[in-house]
């Protein structure tokens, strides 16, 4: 029987509140399918925390019109977004709000169109969208929703049933699209979380309240043939382009999405943000002239900055020794571990506590940004899962924000050491981005589960070594052995300075013995030991 009733903003809030509660039951399971078996596999946690912010903001909305409610939910998602999965989820809600714009209630057809907009907005928000992720799942589900709506435009429940079914199948297919998932034998965690969220919303609409209370979500298994083999290809690292080009474009009827599409492929580190009257553009390109020529055809350019990315820079410590004048640029860094935090603070950074296992929200970072006196702020995420969160700050403050794409704590420290008090924001961004490329990071932690990565078989509880937060290179029962093997693979013989930050689970004497062994084995190296106090990670090592 076709469901013909209409639904309002309160219904939208309630169904996603139920979905959020359903997701909460599976947080540990979603966290556990992180490709790397590290303790900071927290996709489920990040999505749940983002959803809690969504519902909190929705509860404050006094108007039950779906347009008003969806806008409030999108705002809550943006403020509460944590990690890559949370930021992408916030983009989904942003698109949903666009799709429901000006509507007081909605039916199945309205829902399908809004979900199509959600999938489109989420994908457009990524500079390099990857298939086999949550982006693929929302796209596949939205496509099926629209096909179903073409046949039954009024039946919201039937449309979401087909959508959830497709989301489940899409999650199972993610390893076919992303080789690293195939080898690890897992599905995409973000896609899994999205499927559970939608499944919980559907169960609420169908009145399955007892199931929501007493049962648990069913996890999707990877649809992988035992005979199937995959040859993994490493992704190329981003190449530094010659000129860092920044400008403000003012005009009439500007289209930021069209501008982003036009400039995509002409350089890297592309950021396009703004509205119909003003658009801010940042890009690294060998040919800034063509970029400016295109922009001038659209409107008037202001605040043009073009910097050669090979320009020399001066280190932070040297500037402090020279007693440089105080800067008008504040640096806010995300860090964890008592010793690590002290290092960052000693180098002049304002620290937002967080990192592995505890990604800070957009709101937490924004509060630190607004608290500083400086109008210009450099953000150091120091974690690949926080970079997207940090980039959301630009749209929420009138201050000038630049996000340094630091993926590890050692990269963040190098960024501070290369900060120049007397340079402009743009000059600092260029020099720092160049400097952090020279840093290699080795991390030694404990495997949270048994798995296989790049042919390396890992047992739960073993020590594992990771290089630059991307390559799992060693595993074993002895922490020191894994550390030494990882350092060798990282190229310790070719570097000059090695700094070991030992964690809260190690005694100083243990770390000192390791450093003595390293000095004996590599007598020409400068090897330093610092108490990082970080949880979960035995060692975080910087190689320069």
Q: What is the pLDDT of residue 17?
A: 94
Same domain, 203 and 265: no
pLDDT tens digits for range 175-184: 899 888 887 7
- For residue 2, give the nearest of 107, 103, 106 by alpha carbon: 107
Per-residue model confidence (pLDDT) at position 245: 74
In a domain, 109, yes or no: yes
Please state, in angstroms and rounded to a whole number, the distance separating the CA atoms of residues 14 and 391: 30
Residues 388 and 515 in one domain: no
pLDDT tens for each residue of 464-477: 999 998 889 999 99
- Neighbour-count burial of 442, counting CB atoms closer than 10 A to its CB (0-12 exposed, 13-18 middle, 19+ buried): buried
Task: Return the closest-CA partner of residue 537 out of 441, 476, 446.
Answer: 446
Pairing label, strands 400-403, 440-446: unpaired
Q: What is the pLDDT of residue 244?
A: 61
Domain end among 437, 457, 472: 437
Task: Evaluate whether residue 153 is within a structural domain.
Answer: yes
Buried b (16+ CB within 10 A) or exposed e, 283-296: bbbeebeebbeebe
The three-class DSSP label of residue 471 is strand
Q: Are strands 471-476 and 329-335 parallel, antiparallel or unpaired?
A: unpaired
**C-alpha to C-alpha distances, 97 to 92, 103, 146, 196, 341, nearest whole angstrom:** 9, 10, 17, 21, 39
Answer yes or no: do 65 and 177 share one domain: yes
Same domain, 109 and 249: no
Integer-rounded Cα radius of gyration of the chain: 24
Sheet holding 400-403, edge to edge: 350-353, 329-335, 376-380, 400-403
Note whether 426 and 354 are same-domain residues: yes
CATH of the domain at 246: 3.30.70.980
Q: Which of 337, 333, 416 is closest to 381 using CA atoms?
A: 333
**Residue whose C-alpha is closest to residue 266's, from 249, 235, 241:** 241
Q: What is the pLDDT of residues 88-106, one digit of tens each?
A: 898 899 999 999 999 999 9
Q: Quick check: 337 and 501 in contact, CB under 8 A?
A: yes
In a domain, 539, yes or no: yes
pLDDT tens digits along 398-447? 999 999 999 999 999 999 988 887 788 999 999 999 999 999 999 999 99
The CA distance from 67 to 47, in Å, is 23
CATH number, domain containing residue 405: 3.40.50.510
Number of other residues whose CB lies within 10 A of the CB of residue 128: 9
End of a domain among 392, 408, 437? 437
- Per-chain mean pLDDT for the chain: 85
HEC string of 360-419? CCHHHHHHHHHHCCCCEEEEECCCCCCHHHHHHHHHHCCCEEEECCCCCHHHHHHHHHCC
Residue with tokens 């050669």: 308
Residue-level pLDDT at 204: 95
Distance of alpha carbon 340 from alpha carbon 349, whole angstroms = 12
Please list, in sequence order, all residues whose beta carbon lies within 8 angstroms of the beta carbon of residue 253, skipping any fewer than 6 positions away: 276
- The verdict on 245 and 179 lying in the same domain is no
The pLDDT of residue 276 is above 90: no
- Does 265 reside within a domain? yes
d(CA 271, CA 459): 41
Q: Say how far apart CA 38 and CA 35 lie, in whole Å.
A: 9
pLDDT band at 503 (very low <50, low <70, confident <90, very high): very high
Domain range for 287 is 241-308
Domain identity same for 468 and 427: no
Q: Does one domain contain both 118 and 173?
A: yes
pLDDT mean over 344-352 = 89
Q: Is 273 left (phi over 0), alpha (psi -120 to 50) or beta?
A: beta
State which of 278-292, 311-325, 514-528 shows the largest mean pLDDT: 514-528
Residue 378: band (very low, low, confident or very high) from pLDDT cuts 50, 70, 90: very high
Q: What is the CATH classification number for the domain harbouring 516?
A: 3.30.1180
Banded model confidence at residue 225, pLDDT cuts 50, 70, 90? very low
Count of structural domains, the chain: 4
Tokens of 262: 């036009």
Chain segment 14-60, per-residue pLDDT in tens = 999 999 999 999 998 898 887 666 555 578 988 999 899 999 999 99
As a whole number of angstroms, the distance between CA 273 and CA 522 comes to: 49
Residue 220 counted as domain residue: no
> What percent of the chain shows pLDDT beyond 70?
87
Asked if residue 221 is part of any domain, the answer here is no
Query: What CATH number should be reported for the domain holding residue 67?
Result: 1.25.40.340
Q: Which among 502, 493, 491 is positioned nearest to 528, based on CA atoms? A: 502
Tokens of 543: 């190689």
446/428 same-domain check: no
Letter string b/e over residues 243-281, b meaning 16 or more CB atoms within 10 A of that residue's CB: bbbbbbbebeebebeebbeebeebbebbbbebeeeebbb
The closest of 525, 522, 475 to 498, measured between CA atoms, is 525
Given a cut of 90, whether residue 221 has pLDDT beyond it is no
Looking up tokens 């992408």, which residue turns up? Answer: 88
The mean pLDDT value for 453-468 works out to 91
* pLDDT tens digits along 478-501: 999 999 999 999 999 998 889 999
Q: Are residues 207 and 160 in the same domain?
A: yes
Residues above pLDDT 90, as percent of the chain: 54
CB neighbour list of residue 332: distance below 8 Å, 6 or more residues apart: 349, 350, 351, 352, 365, 368, 369, 372, 377, 378, 379, 380
In a domain, 415, yes or no: yes
Q: Is 177 part of a structural domain of the chain?
A: yes
Same domain flag for 431 and 448: no
Report the sign of the C-alpha dihedral through residues 170, 173, 175, 176, in that order.
negative
**Cα 185 to Cα 224: distance, rounded to the nearest angstrom:** 7
Helix extents (H) in 267-315: 288-296
Which of 437, 471, 503 is the C-terminal boundary of a domain?
Answer: 437
463 in the same domain as 509: yes
């Amino acid at each position: 029987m076709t469901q013909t009733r209409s639904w309002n903003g309160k219904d939208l809030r309630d169904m996603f509140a139920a979905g959020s509660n359903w997701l909460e039951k599976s947080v540990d399971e979603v966290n556990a399918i992180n490709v790397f078996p590290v303790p900071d596999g927290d996709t489920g946690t990040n999505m749940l925390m983002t959803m809690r912010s969504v519902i909190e903001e929705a509860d404050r909305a006094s108007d039950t019109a779906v347009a008003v409610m969806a806008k409030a939910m999108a705002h809550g998602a943006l403020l509460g977004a944590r990690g890559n999965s949370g930021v992408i989820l916030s983009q989904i809600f942003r698109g949903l709000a666009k799709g429901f714009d000006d509507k007081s209630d909605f039916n199945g057809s309205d829902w399908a169109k809004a979900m199509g907009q959600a999938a489109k907005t989420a994908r457009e928000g990524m500079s390099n969208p990857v298939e086999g992720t949550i982006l693929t799942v929302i796209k596949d589900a939205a496509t099926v929703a629209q096909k179903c709506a073409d046949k039954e435009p009024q039946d919201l429940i039937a449309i979401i049933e087909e959508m959830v079914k497709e989301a489940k199948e899409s999650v199972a297919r993610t390893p076919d699209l992303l080789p690293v998932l195939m080898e690890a034998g897992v599905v995409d965690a973000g896609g899994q979380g999205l499927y559970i969220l939608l499944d919980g919303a559907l169960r609420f609409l169908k009145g399955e309240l007892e199931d929501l209370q007493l049962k648990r979500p069913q996890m999707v298994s990877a649809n992988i043939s035992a005979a199937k083999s995959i040859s993994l290809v490493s992704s190329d690292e981003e190449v530094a382009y010659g000129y860092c080009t920044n400008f403000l474009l003012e005009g009439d009827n500007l289209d930021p999405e069209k501008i982003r599409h036009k400039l995509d492929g002409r350089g890297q580190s592309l950021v396009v943000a703004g509205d119909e009257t003003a658009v801010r553009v940042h890009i690294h390109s060998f040919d800034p002239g063509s970029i400016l020529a295109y922009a001038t055809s659209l409107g008037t350019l202001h605040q043009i900055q073009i910097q050669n990315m090979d320009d020399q820079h001066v280190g932070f410590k040297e500037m402090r020794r020279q007693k440089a004048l105080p800067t008008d640029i504040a640096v806010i860094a995300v860090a964890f571990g008592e010793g690590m935090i002290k290092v960052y603070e000693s180098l002049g950074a304002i620290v937002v506590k967080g990192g592995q296992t505890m990604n800070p929200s957009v709101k937490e970072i924004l509060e630190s940004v607004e608290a500083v006196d400086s109008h210009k702020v450099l953000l150091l995420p120091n974690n690949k899962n926080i970079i997207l969160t940090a980039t959301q700050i630009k749209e929420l403050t009138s201050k000038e924000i630049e996000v340094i794409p630091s993926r590890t704590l050692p990269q963040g420290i190098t960024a501070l050491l290369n900060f120049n008090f007397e340079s402009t924001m743009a000059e600092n961004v260029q020099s720092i981005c160049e400097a952090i490329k020279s840093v290699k990071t080795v991390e030694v932690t404990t495997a949270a589960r048994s798995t296989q990565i790049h042919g390396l078989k890992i047992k739960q509880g073993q020590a594992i070594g990771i290089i630059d937060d991307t390559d799992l290179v060693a595993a074993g029962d002895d922490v020191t052995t894994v550390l030494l093997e990882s350092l060798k693979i990282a190229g310790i013989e070719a570097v000059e300075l090695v700094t070991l930050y030992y964690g809260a689970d190690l005694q100083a004497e243990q770390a000192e013995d390791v450093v003595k062994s390293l000095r004996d084995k590599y007598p020409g190296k400068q090897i330093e030991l610092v108490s990082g106090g970080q949880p979960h990670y035995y060692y975080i090592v910087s190689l320069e």
